[in-house]
């Protein structure tokens, strides 16, 4: 009889111990945000970018193929994501955006999770400025560099001009010689360490490549044959688009790029090649993190979220930039791999970066704060075929864009008055070459989209 009672006690203790442990580990979150990572399947006539680890992550989760940034510049988009607040004309506007200035003392997703028992770690570029909204993080890591742009070629380092060298570089070097490699190794050590504790974790991992300059180890360049790289079909600016949309400035700062005029076809192919190499390099870093989760027996207890702060134009419309309201800057990858939800599925529901805050809350089993302006994606993880949204919004400067399955519609205003607009029928004009906003027969659809866009603008506080 005594042995039976003892057995019952042991079984009960084991049950509650296992229950408590499962409750802890299922809430772990790895959030990976890659700088300037465009939608990877957008350019039909170019080579496929080799991303075997991202492809594996897709098979383990839900791939959101209609995902968009709320502002195509790093500081603003990241501030919006971290606070759950949409950018406006007076908040989260530029790459210099600081949460501490535009939304001081806001409850960031990191601080909310930290307040609810999470170990929160920021590795790499999460906020644009490392100390911005630092109160939300238990640990902040930014890898050191021996020069501002992470060049490795001694000649490039020696000949910097205002901290800029060439727009691309390859050297025979180890992955960990670059700052992103150091971010990966720091994340791996964090996973090892935290796995020995009782706290759930939220580890945010920010990779800087493929941001300019496009520098990566030579082995990733060798994955591609430049002779097989072709320029996009729409590698010239469409005459029907407003001239204010013909804009790029960042690339001009690099020493091998002309200050004015077009870039040669050979240089353009070199830059595309370099961008591909950088993406494959980051894919390898993501693979190392996924491998460590598996090694630590955390794969079945950790949600992995992968996205980008905005896209990047690789010569489409003759531009090399984000900082604009075409699809190449606005459309981004988003994958959510959670052991609790569907695997190897695709969602066509429209998704915005601002939706991640409430999604993280649901993943952690927490109520979403009332101020959050995004919508949780948990419904889509449960049922990827369900369309919970068929529209998205983005803002850049004085321009505001509405995106649907059929249309990209943009208005620019100054002092409340309309100055320019664009309308692209994305179903029939996938390359966005024919601005049809001023065609009289489209007046009804323009007026309808304008009403929806401006109603949204007025609703955002």
* 413 and 365 within one domain: no
pLDDT tens per residue across span 349-403? 999 999 999 999 999 999 999 999 999 999 999 999 999 999 999 999 999 999 9
> Where does the pLDDT of residue 2 fall: very low under 50, low under 70, confident under 90, or very high at 90 and above?
very low
CA 351 to CA 374: how far, in whole Å?
Answer: 9
* pLDDT given at position 147: 84
* Position 10 in a domain: no
- Answer with the one of 357, 382, 407 that is the final residue of a domain: 382
Highest mean pLDDT: which of 15-24, 46-55, 146-155, 289-298?
289-298
Can you give the residue range of the structural domain that contains 449? 398-461
Highest mean pLDDT: which of 74-83, 142-151, 230-239, 247-256?
74-83
Supply the CATH number for residue 116's domain: 3.40.720.10
* 359 and 440 within one domain: no
On whether the CB atoms of residues 305 and 204 are closer than 8 A, the answer is: no
* Position 278 in a domain: yes
Supply the CATH number for residue 432's domain: 3.30.1120.10
What is residue 323's three-state secondary structure? coil
DSSP-derived secondary structure letter, 228: G
* pLDDT given at position 375: 97
* Position 446 in a domain: yes
CA 298 to CA 96: how far, in whole Å?
Answer: 36
CA 59 to CA 45: how far, in whole Å?
Answer: 25
Residue spans of alpha helices (H) in 195-242: 218-221
Whole-number percent of the chain with pLDDT over 70? 93
Order of all β-strands in the sheet with 391-396: 391-396, 399-404, 407-414, 417-425
* Position 104 in a domain: yes
pLDDT tens per residue across span 316-334? 999 998 999 999 999 999 9
- Answer with the one of 382, 412, 431 that is the final residue of a domain: 382
* 431 and 372 within one domain: no
DSSP-derived secondary structure letter, 264: P
Identify which of 312, 394, 313, 396 has the alpha carbon closest to the alpha carbon of residue 353.
394
Within 13 Å, how many C-alpha atoms sit on residue 147's CB side?
20
Residue 201 has pLDDT above 50, yes or no: yes
Give the range among 17-31, 202-216, 272-286, 313-327 with minimum mean pLDDT.
17-31
CA 350 to CA 368: how far, in whole Å?
Answer: 20
Can you count the helices (H) and strands (E) in the chain?
13, 17
Question: Average pLDDT, whole number, for the chain?
Answer: 91
Phi-psi region of 133 (alpha: psi -120 to 50; beta: other; left: phi over 0): left
* 412 and 300 within one domain: no
Q: What's the average model confidence in pLDDT over 34-63? A: 89
* Position 222 in a domain: yes
- Answer with the one of 353, 382, 411 that is the final residue of a domain: 382
* pLDDT given at position 250: 87
Within 13 Å, how many C-alpha atoms sit on residue 337's CB side?
23
> Where does the pLDDT of residue 44 fall: very low under 50, low under 70, confident under 90, or very high at 90 and above?
low
* 222 and 287 within one domain: yes
CA 421 to CA 143: how far, in whole Å?
Answer: 42
* 409 and 351 within one domain: no
* 407 and 328 within one domain: no
CA 101 and chain centroid, separation? 23
Strands 201-207 and 28-34: parallel
* 373 and 424 within one domain: no
* pLDDT given at position 18: 39
Active-site residue flag, 74? yes
> Where does the pLDDT of residue 43 fall: very low under 50, low under 70, confident under 90, or very high at 90 and above?
low
Residue 41 has pLDDT above 60, yes or no: yes
> Where does the pLDDT of residue 45 fall: very low under 50, low under 70, confident under 90, or very high at 90 and above?
low
* 153 and 69 within one domain: yes
Rounded to the nearest 10 degrees, what angle do helices 265-295 and 179-194 cross at? 10
CA 170 to CA 220: how far, in whole Å?
Answer: 9
Q: What's the average model confidence in pLDDT over 109-121? A: 97
> Where does the pLDDT of residue 105 fall: very low under 50, low under 70, confident under 90, or very high at 90 and above?
confident
* pLDDT given at position 25: 40
Residue 150 has pLDDT above 80, yes or no: yes
| pTM exceeding 0.85 | yes
* 410 and 361 within one domain: no
* pLDDT given at position 92: 95
Residue 23 has pLDDT above 50, yes or no: no
* pLDDT given at position 243: 84
* 148 and 244 within one domain: yes
Number of domains in the chain: 2
Q: What's the average model confidence in pLDDT over 416-444? A: 96
* Position 13 in a domain: no
* Position 388 in a domain: no
CA 388 to CA 351: how far, in whole Å?
Answer: 9
* Position 411 in a domain: yes
DSSP-derived secondary structure letter, 252: G
> Where does the pLDDT of residue 47 fall: very low under 50, low under 70, confident under 90, or very high at 90 and above?
confident
Active-site residue flag, 317? no
Q: What's the average model confidence in pLDDT over 92-110? A: 94
Catalytic pick among 128, 273, 310, 323: 128
Only one residue has tokens 């190794």, namely 185
* 411 and 343 within one domain: no
């Amino acid at each position: 009889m005594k042995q039976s009672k003892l057995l019952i006690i042991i079984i009960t203790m084991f049950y509650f111990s296992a229950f408590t442990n499962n409750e802890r580990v299922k809430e772990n979150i790895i959030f990976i945000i890659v700088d300037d990572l465009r939608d990877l399947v957008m350019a039909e006539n170019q080579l496929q970018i080799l991303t075997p680890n991202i492809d594996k992550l897709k098979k383990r989760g839900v791939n959101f193929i209609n995902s968009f940034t709320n502002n195509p510049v790093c500081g603003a988009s990241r501030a919006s994501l971290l606070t759950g607040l949409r950018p406006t004309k007076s908040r989260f506007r530029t790459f210099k955006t600081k949460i501490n200035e535009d939304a001081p003392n806001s409850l960031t997703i990191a601080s909310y999770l930290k307040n609810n028992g999470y170990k929160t770690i920021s590795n790499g570029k999460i906020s644009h400025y490392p100390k911005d909204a630092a109160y939300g993080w238990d640990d902040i890591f930014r890898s050191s560099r021996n020069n501002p742009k992470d060049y490795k070629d001694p000649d490039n380092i020696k000949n910097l001009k205002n901290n800029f060298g060439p727009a691309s570089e390859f050297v025979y070097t180890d992955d960990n010689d670059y700052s992103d490699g150091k971010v990966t190794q720091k994340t791996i050590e964090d996973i090892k360490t935290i796995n020995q504790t009782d706290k759930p974790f939220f580890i945010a991992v920010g990779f800087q490549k493929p941001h300019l300059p496009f520098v990566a180890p030579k082995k990733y360049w060798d994955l591609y044959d430049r002779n097989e790289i072709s320029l996009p079909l729409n590698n010239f600016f469409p005459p029907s688009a407003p001239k204010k949309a013909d804009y790029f400035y960042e690339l001009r700062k690099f020493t091998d790029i002309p200050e004015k005029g077009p870039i040669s076809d050979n240089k353009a192919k070199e830059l595309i090649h370099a961008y591909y190499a950088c993406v494959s390099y980051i894919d390898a870093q993501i693979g190392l993190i996924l491998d460590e989760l598996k090694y630590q027996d955390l794969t079945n207890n950790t949600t992995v979220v992968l996205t980008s702060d905005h896209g990047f134009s690789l010569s489409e419309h003759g531009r090399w930039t984000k900082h604009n309201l075409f699809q190449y800057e606005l459309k981004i990858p988003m994958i959510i791999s959670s052991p609790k939800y569907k695997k190897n599925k695709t969602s066509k529901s429209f998704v915005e970066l601002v939706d991640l805050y409430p999604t993280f809350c649901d993943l952690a089993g927490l109520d979403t704060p009332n101020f959050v302006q995004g919508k949780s994606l948990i419904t889509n993880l449960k049922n990827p075929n369900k369309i919970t949204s068929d529209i998205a919004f983005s803002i850049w400067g004085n321009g505001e864009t509405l995106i649907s399955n059929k249309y990209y519609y943009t208005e620019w205003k100054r002092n409340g008055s309309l100055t320019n607009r664009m309308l692209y029928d994305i179903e029939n004009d996938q390359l966005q070459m024919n601005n049809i906003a001023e065609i009289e027969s489209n007046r009804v659809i323009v007026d309808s989209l304008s009403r929806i866009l401006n109603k949204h603008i007025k609703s955002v506080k």
